[in-house]
Amino acid sequence: MGEQVHNRLSVVRPERKVTRRVPAEAVGAHYQTIGHIERGQYNPSLDLAAAYFGLPVEAIFSLQPFTNCSPCRRSSRG
């Protein structure tokens, strides 16, 4: 299955005041899929998820656990 991909979706989404349904509908997925991605139970199309929030893939996903920082506030899509 490959390496685990860590993500900041559970941080970015609340910062932008977006429910799981909003990005799910935008990319044609079920809202529960967003929860699976946030918990690391499913690896999505990284480009698609990052494009929704208008951020580079590296700002949301990493092969290493993230430290506490928030580059995610750079742009807002809401």
H/E segment holding residue 7: strand 6-7
Q: What is the pLDDT of residues 33-60, one digit of tens each?
A: 999 988 988 877 777 777 888 888 888 8
**DSSP structure string for 42-62:** ----HHHHHHHHT--HHHHEE
The domain of 38 spans 6-67
Residue 41: what pLDDT? 87
72 assigned to some structural domain = no
pLDDT digits (tens, 9 = 90+) for 2-43: 667 788 889 999 999 999 999 999 888 899 999 998 898 887
Provide the number of structural domains found in the chain: 1
Is 31 a member of any domain?
Answer: yes
